[in-house]
């Protein structure tokens, strides 16, 4: 699964919990992009390497409630 994030805060990225759960259930990689930088997390890393899980947020546009799961931002070094 691929997602694009807008913010990196204190060298970490926040991913909604239902995206994390979906990737783990499907045994799928999560590719996170921010501008030209990208980072890939395996299902095992999604399960074990999180930094923090937030309180529940209420969706502003009628979607489902969610938590934010934080991961250290460690982009792949591009080879020039």
Q: Is residue 80 part of a domain?
A: no
Q: Is residue 47 part of a domain?
A: yes
Longest dimension (CA), the chain: 44
Domain coverage including residue 65: 2-71
Residue 40 and residue 48 in contact, taking contact as beta carbons nearer than 8 Å = no
As for how many domains the chain has, the answer is 1
pLDDT in the model for residue 59: 84
Q: Is residue 76 part of a domain?
A: no
Instruction: Please determine, for residue 69, whether its predicted confidence score (pLDDT) is greater than 80.
Output: yes
Q: Residue 13: how many CB atoms within 10 A of its CB? A: 23
80 band by pLDDT with thresholds 50, 70 and 90 = low
- Predicted TM-score (pTM) of this structure: 0.86
Q: Is residue 49 part of a domain?
A: yes
Number of H helices, E strands in the chain: 2, 6
62 band by pLDDT with thresholds 50, 70 and 90 = confident
Q: Is residue 77 part of a domain?
A: no
- 62 CB-near residues (< 8 Å, 6+ apart): none
Q: Is residue 25 part of a domain?
A: yes
Residue 19 and residue 1 in contact, taking contact as beta carbons nearer than 8 Å = yes
Q: Is residue 79 part of a domain?
A: no
pLDDT in tens, 1-49: 999 999 999 999 999 999 999 999 999 999 999 999 999 999 999 999 9
């Amino acid at each position: 699964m691929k997602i694009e994030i807008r913010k990196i805060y204190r060298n970490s990225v926040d991913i909604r919990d239902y995206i994390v759960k979906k990737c783990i259930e499907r045994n799928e990689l999560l590719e996170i992009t921010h501008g030209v930088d990208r980072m890939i997390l395996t299902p095992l890393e999604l399960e074990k390497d999180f930094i923090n899980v937030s309180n529940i947020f209420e969706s502003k546009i009628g979607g489902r409630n969610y938590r934010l799961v934080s991961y250290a931002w460690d982009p792949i070094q591009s080879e020039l």
